[in-house]
Structure 1
Amino acid sequence: MPRVVSIYLPGLATDRIRRADPSIPPEQAIAVIAKSGSKRWVAAADEAARKAGVRAGMPAAKAQAIFRDLMLLDADAAGDAAALERIALWALTVYSPIVAMDWIDGIVMDTEGADHLQGGEEPMLTRVANQFRAKGLTARVAVADTWGAAHACARAITRETVIVPRGETAKAVEKLPISLLRLPEKIVDDLRTLGFQSVGELANTARAPLALRFGPEIGRRLDQMFGRVSEPIDPIRHPEQVQVFRAFAEPIGAADTINKYVGCLVVQLVAELQKKGLGVRRTDLVVEKVDGTRQAIRAGTAKPARDVAWLTKLFRDRTEKIEPGFGIEKLTLVAIMSEPLEEEQKTSSLVDEDIPDITPLIDILGNRGQRVYRVAPVASDVPERSVARVAPAATEIEESWTHHWRRPVRLLDRPDPITAIALLPDHPPRSITWRGRRYDVKRADGPERVFGEWWKRDSEFDAVRDYFVIENEVGERYWIFRSGNGLDPETGSHKWFIHGIFA
């Protein structure tokens, strides 16, 4: 059963304004004003404005009277739509092969088979919400069995994420307002006049009288929400993305037949890429079935590629996941991410140059859901900031680690608190207690003083750490530090932490 994620962006209009002008203070309240003739009203308000009592639909003059320092800006529907399209195209490259815009204030995507790559649906939704917040966008994220249910739940919640368990759509939406059914506003107003308030009330009403008065739209939306009829997501596409497709007069379903036509599509795609001097980094195979549903398979490469045999192999290794159902009527192959790729001329040499290429291994591991990366040095004295993850096939980084003191083989994800008995300010501990176990220190070296990055963070202007290498009675060596110089409280808390383990 497919799973659908809806991402609702309630503050898109105001978030876009802040992203375009970073000089706007965070505490500054913003309202977007729409107008029609001489009438002007609030179309959107940010959190600061809402706390002051400004609401969407309120006359602009009243909003300004409520909050004198309110920043009023004209609505730009075209700009908001363009921003939403850019967000959807970005999500297409990051989250799922099937992503579309969901009305004017959100996006929707099919994440069938993608959640296990991120540890489950809860970590996946949390990651989505965190990434949108990091980009300065307020997001409400919901996952459900259908587009209609995910759309409604994302707009009904006040927290960042919600998960509707499989098969529990009816229970999740029965108390939601009918305005979340994606019905025309006129129909919603008429239904409220008749006394309908919730989705459950409408769903438990006889269908014939509603259809006689309002037409088939109410029944269609209810059936889509409860999964009685399919609602395929038509993926968004950028005009410059290279794509090829094959439609079938008679549906196909055999694995050999699917592999045959996938191979033909790869040949066509590579030919189109070659004309433009491009190599593909991420490719999506979209399978459209007779019943209107879609399934997608994504294959990525560490480097731009135009190797027909290799791209075909990457897809054929995964076509077994395709569930043809009653048959497949169309296959589409899309180059979601592509980069310039020049032809390389191979030169012969009397001396064989055995330079191993591990990118095929990287591709195989990456397409199995493994996170493949390299660790690169960063110019920072703070240990946890001195490394960074880079793409496995990225160009070599000239930066290198230059330390006069030895570093541990294993660095903990974050410093772990310990208790220590030590003579301040410069003496190493005589003993430490870590996770309830005491270790007597037999040998020690230090201190190595590490200063905070005061030029990046004002809070680290006086901060220091004193690191020691200690060895216990059985020869185990640890990397520990004291926060602060041991004298001035401004330099740190003077608490002790373990940060690494030596081999």
Structure 2
Amino acid sequence: MRRVVSLYLPTWPTDRVRRMAGGEALSAETPLVLVGREGSRRVVRAADAAAQAAGLHAGMPVAKAQILVPDLVMEDASPAADAEALERLAVWMLQRFAPIVAADPPDGIVIDSTGADHLHGGEAAMLDGLVGRLALSGVTARAAIADSWGAAHALARYSADPVCIAPAGHGPSVLVPLPIEALRLPHRMAADLRVLGFDRIGDLLAQPRAPLTLRFGPELERRLRQALGELAEPIEAVRSPDLIEARRAFAEPIGAAETIARYIGKLVDQLSRSLEEKSLGARRLDLLCNCVDNRTEAVRVGLATPVRDAQRLTRLLCDKIETIDPGFGIEIMTLTATITEPVGRRQLASSLIEAAAPDISGLIDTLANRIGARAVYRVAPVASDIPERSVCRIPAMSPDTGATWPGHWPRPSRLLVRPEPIETVALLPDHPPASFTWRGARRRVKRADGPERVFGEWWKCDAELVAVRDYFRVEDEAGERYWIYRAGDGEHPETGSHRWFLHGVFG
């Protein structure tokens, strides 16, 4: 099922101006407006959040705005610069999130995320990542995902939640409570509908469509059908002139898997030659299939290292053929190297001197494209005495830094996501327990070693200034070994709760 993301950037023009100012940008508390001309009048074209909180809005005369906010900061509006920056933002999202991304002027981005959400940890994680990255860049954003562009556009702008996820196959139910302006109708048409008593989309859906079409024309019917997903609304993906791509148009539409695979091989050969001419390798490939019924099927594959080997790229793309629904046939296939990196010439190792290092990047690519890049990783040590902070995830093909974990104290092969509380029977408060109960099973301790005292990281949190943990390695009657600790030093209450927890299991 098709899924579409709509990003709404409510203060995009002023956010762009602040980003361009860099280190000299105004603080977020300083009201900022962009001004332009309507005939002989100077009016506000855009207002940031601080200006809107002060009562300013687009269309207000500048003279009135200056009376309301005496220290108002004004800049000249530039719709052309806003549109150009929006296109650049769309290209940035194309490279990182999905193969079909387009600008939705004047203040939005639309993304066809069908089949791409699992690469980002699911729809919720993908939307949080989008909004979070934009917020870190100083851009305010709202996001919604739905089954159609029209529904996602409406929810992003009129839903109460800044991040809205409509369930797959939602139907008209998510649109019913939204105002009629959410249908992207002309302002005059929306005003006329309100005069007739239509305030919500649900009011329109409850009426026969023929009289509404006769009164207001086909535009109202078209927008309703687009929002409901009854009428296709193709997304023209943004394209950067720097992208390297290969394209093939067919006189007769194709649909058989074998035919698609054959032409994938031809496109990969053409793309590989272009990459070799520029000494580049692909880190991400997008295959777009334009179908007869005005749909676009997209396939995205990522690579752990820059690659231009045609056989390997063809295999990865052909593994995704089953996800392509050609419908009545494919008219155009476009293969794009969305992300590329330089590839140096590699000197072959001599078999008389040294053995060639094993290359597992092909295996990493296969796994990452099947189960998602986030599910394939390596763990690396972090300089921290707190066990749960001493490990981080890094990309599977990251270079080895040589860093290792301290070896003077053994660590369990399996560390729990979070420590789990256990019930203990101890002879003395500061001794290892004689037995403990974990997940409903009681275990008698036969051997124990410890304690290993771990102090809190006071420079990160004031609460850890005096916090300590005492870790013990214990073995039960069955020979199973566990890593347990007591929160606190067993004497002073301010050092911890003195409760016991199980933190890991030794292999």
Say whether the 8 Å CA contact 1:43–1:75 is kept in structure 2: no
**What is the CA–CA distance in structure 2 between the aligned matches of 1:403 and 1:67, rounded to whole Å?**
64
Code of the aligned partner of 2:377 = Y
Counterparts in 2 of 1:7-86, with a 5 A limit? 7-10=7-10, 12=12, 17=18, 29=29, 31-36=31-36, 39=42, 41=44, 43-46=46-49, 54=55, 56-57=57-58, 74=75, 81=83, 84-86=86-88
**What is the CA–CA distance in structure 2 between the aligned matches of 1:339 and 1:472, rounded to whole Å?**
53
Say whether the 8 Å CA contact 2:36–2:77 is kept in structure 1: no
Once the two structures are TM-superposed, the CA of residue 386 in structure 1 deviates from its matched residue by 1.5
Cα RMSD (Å) = 3.6
Counterparts in 2 of 1:91-170, with a 5 A limit? 91-115=93-117, 121=123, 125=127, 138-170=140-172
- 408, 411, 431: which one pairs with 1:407? 411
Once the two structures are TM-superposed, the CA of residue 272 in structure 1 deviates from its matched residue by 1.5
**What is the CA–CA distance in structure 1 between the aligned matches of 2:482 and 2:505, rounded to whole Å?**
5
The aligned counterpart of 1:441 is 445
Say whether the 8 Å CA contact 1:9–1:137 is kept in structure 2: yes
Say whether the 8 Å CA contact 1:178–1:197 is kept in structure 2: yes
Once the two structures are TM-superposed, the CA of residue 337 in structure 1 deviates from its matched residue by 1.1
The aligned counterpart of 2:194 is 192
Deviates more, 1:336-345 or 1:202-211: 202-211
**What is the CA–CA distance in structure 2 between the aligned matches of 1:109 and 1:102, rounded to whole Å?**
10
After superposition, what is the alpha-carbon deviation per residue over 1:254-293, rounded to whole angstroms, capped at 9, x for unaligned? 3232222221211111111122211001100000011111
- 168, 172, 175: which one pairs with 2:174? 172
**What is the CA–CA distance in structure 1 between the aligned matches of 2:501 and 2:195, rounded to whole Å?**
65
**What is the CA–CA distance in structure 1 between the aligned matches of 2:452 and 2:486, rounded to whole Å?**
10
- 363, 388, 391: which one pairs with 2:392? 388
Once the two structures are TM-superposed, the CA of residue 42 in structure 1 deviates from its matched residue by 8.6
Q: Is the aligned partner of 1:481 residue 2:494?
A: no
Change in Cα spacing, 1:499 to 1:81, as seen in structure 2 (3 Å) is farther
The aligned counterpart of 2:457 is 453
After superposition, what is the alpha-carbon deviation per residue over 1:445-481, rounded to whole angstroms, capped at 9, x for unaligned? 2222223333444553443322222223333222122
Change in Cα spacing, 1:273 to 1:314, as seen in structure 2 (3 Å) is same
After superposition, what is the alpha-carbon deviation per residue over 1:388-418, rounded to whole angstroms, capped at 9, x for unaligned? 2111112112222124111111011122223
Say whether the 8 Å CA contact 1:480–1:499 is kept in structure 2: yes
Once the two structures are TM-superposed, the CA of residue 191 in structure 1 deviates from its matched residue by 3.2
Say whether the 8 Å CA contact 2:349–2:355 is kept in structure 1: no
TM-score (norm. length: structure 1): 0.85
Say whether the 8 Å CA contact 1:418–1:432 is kept in structure 2: yes
**What is the CA–CA distance in structure 2 between the aligned matches of 1:405 and 1:60, rounded to whole Å?**
69
Change in Cα spacing, 1:340 to 1:123, as seen in structure 2 (3 Å) is closer
Code of the aligned partner of 1:105 = D
SS of equivalent to 1:159: coil
SS of equivalent to 2:411: coil
The aligned counterpart of 1:256 is 258
**What is the CA–CA distance in structure 1 between the aligned matches of 2:370 and 2:121, rounded to whole Å?**
14
Say whether the 8 Å CA contact 1:149–1:169 is kept in structure 2: no
Once the two structures are TM-superposed, the CA of residue 194 in structure 1 deviates from its matched residue by 4.1
Q: Is the aligned partner of 1:276 residue 2:278?
A: yes
**What is the CA–CA distance in structure 2 between the aligned matches of 1:467 and 1:60, rounded to whole Å?**
67
Once the two structures are TM-superposed, the CA of residue 159 in structure 1 deviates from its matched residue by 2.2
Change in Cα spacing, 1:136 to 1:442, as seen in structure 2 (3 Å) is farther
After superposition, what is the alpha-carbon deviation per residue over 1:169-199, rounded to whole angstroms, capped at 9, x for unaligned? 3222133211111223333334334443222
Q: Is the aligned partner of 1:494 residue 2:498?
A: yes
Counterparts in 2 of 1:314-329, with a 5 A limit? 314-329=316-331
Change in Cα spacing, 1:131 to 1:191, as seen in structure 2 (3 Å) is same
Once the two structures are TM-superposed, the CA of residue 368 in structure 1 deviates from its matched residue by 1.2
Structure 1 regions of 5+ residues with no counterpart? none
**What is the CA–CA distance in structure 2 between the aligned matches of 1:231 and 1:219, rounded to whole Å?**
14
Say whether the 8 Å CA contact 2:98–2:116 is kept in structure 1: yes
Q: Identity over aligned residues, as a percent?
A: 52
**What is the CA–CA distance in structure 2 between the aligned matches of 1:482 and 1:60, rounded to whole Å?**
65
| Equivalenced residues, count | 499
After superposition, what is the alpha-carbon deviation per residue over 1:330-388, rounded to whole angstroms, capped at 9, x for unaligned? 11111111111012243544356253221111111112124211112222222112222
Once the two structures are TM-superposed, the CA of residue 131 in structure 1 deviates from its matched residue by 5.9
Code of the aligned partner of 1:335 = A
Counterparts in 2 of 1:298-313, with a 5 A limit? 298-313=300-315
**What is the CA–CA distance in structure 2 between the aligned matches of 1:226 and 1:459, rounded to whole Å?**
52
Say whether the 8 Å CA contact 1:379–1:399 is kept in structure 2: no
The aligned counterpart of 2:184 is 182
Counterparts in 2 of 1:427-438, with a 5 A limit? 427-438=431-442
Deviates more, 1:222-231 or 1:427-436: 427-436
Counterparts in 2 of 1:206-245, with a 5 A limit? 215-245=217-247
**What is the CA–CA distance in structure 1 between the aligned matches of 2:456 and 2:84, rounded to whole Å?**
42
Once the two structures are TM-superposed, the CA of residue 430 in structure 1 deviates from its matched residue by 3.7
SS of equivalent to 2:333: strand
**What is the CA–CA distance in structure 2 between the aligned matches of 1:25 and 1:465, rounded to whole Å?**
46
Structure 2 regions of 5+ residues with no counterpart? none
Change in Cα spacing, 1:415 to 1:91, as seen in structure 2 (3 Å) is farther
Say whether the 8 Å CA contact 2:35–2:77 is kept in structure 1: no
Deviates more, 1:213-222 or 1:373-382: 213-222
SS of equivalent to 2:371: coil
TM-score (norm. length: structure 2): 0.85
Change in Cα spacing, 1:182 to 1:277, as seen in structure 2 (3 Å) is same
**What is the CA–CA distance in structure 1 between the aligned matches of 2:452 and 2:502, rounded to whole Å?**
14
